[in-house]
Amino acid sequence: MDDALNIAMDYLMRTGQAVKFQEAQEVAAHAKEVAWRSQVRNRLRLSNLAIRAMEQGEDFTEERLGVLR
C-alpha cells in the first residue's frame, strides 16, 4: 500500500504539483485509503486515484469511488 503512495507522490513532485508536500501527501493518502476500504487492491489503480484526487481536488468517498470503478 505504501508503494501506491510513493508512486503518486513521485509523480506529483516531478510534475511540480506537490509544492505543498504535506498537503499533497495528505490528499493522496486519503484518496488511497478510501479506495483501499472500497476493495481496490491494485497499486497502480490506488496511485492513479491518489494522483487524480490531487490534480482535480476531488474529495473521494466510498460512494464516489463506486462510480469510478
pLDDT tens profile 31-46: 999 999 999 999 999 9
pLDDT of residue 69 exceeding 60, the answer is no
With a pLDDT cut of 90, the percent of the chain lying above it is 48
29-54 per-residue burial string, b: 16 or more CB within 10 A, e: under 16: bebbebbeebebeebeebbbbbbbbb
Give the per-residue pLDDT at 10: 95
- Amino acid at site 45: R
Give the per-residue pLDDT at 65: 59
Full-model pTM = 0.76
pLDDT of residue 61 exceeding 90, the answer is no
How does the average pLDDT of the chain come out, rounded?
Answer: 85
Please report, for the chain, the start and end positions of each structural domain, with discontinuous segments joined by +: 2-68
d(CA 67, CA 12): 24
